[in-house]
Amino acid sequence: MRGVELIPLVGHVDQRGVLHAFESGSSLPFELARIFTLQGCPPDAVRACHAVTAHQAIVALTGGATADIDNGSERQTVRLEHAAEALLLWPGVWLRLRLFSAGTVLLVASSQRFADVHYFDTPQPHLFEPLLPRAAA
């Protein structure tokens, strides 16, 4: 789907466990400006319901949630429940988060600080289309 990717996070494994890292330019195609978490959401909570001007990568650290995404011409639903992959959203892709499992913690990495982000009630394809690699557009 244009403007959306599920990206695997490379795990560094040894006898102490697994380390997953976000790095600008390698695992993330944007400069990291902000990280925040969503947690304590009841199962019937609905979060987001907007498109933003930032790139975002979302990982379910524990539990899971359903992500409904819309790029203006395509819609898709993805279940986030694996800490080894991130849902990458380009600017302008609309997102709704719902159906939270008990104990869910979502980590969101963003390319913009909160004060710099603009929010939209509908998909904004004009924001991501110029940023996509030629083969994906």
Report domain extents, the chain.
4-122
Helices in the chain by DSSP H: which ranges?
Answer: 125-128
| Per-residue pLDDT at 57 | 96
Query: Is the CB of residue 78 less than 8 Å from the CB of residue 87?
Result: yes
pLDDT at 134: 57
Distance CA 98, CA 66 (A): 5
The whole-number pLDDT of residue 132 equals 75
- Topology, domain 4-122: Jelly Rolls (2.60.120)
pLDDT along the chain (137 residues), means of 10: 90 90 79 95 97 97 97 97 93 98 96 96 92 60
Give the pLDDT confidence score for residue 42 in this predicted structure: 97
Could you identify the residue written with the tokens 């040894």? 14
Give me 29's structure tokens: 């195609």
DSSP-assigned beta bridge partners for residue 69? 76, 95
Structure tokens at 25: 């330019």
Q: Give the SS3 label for residue 131.
A: helix
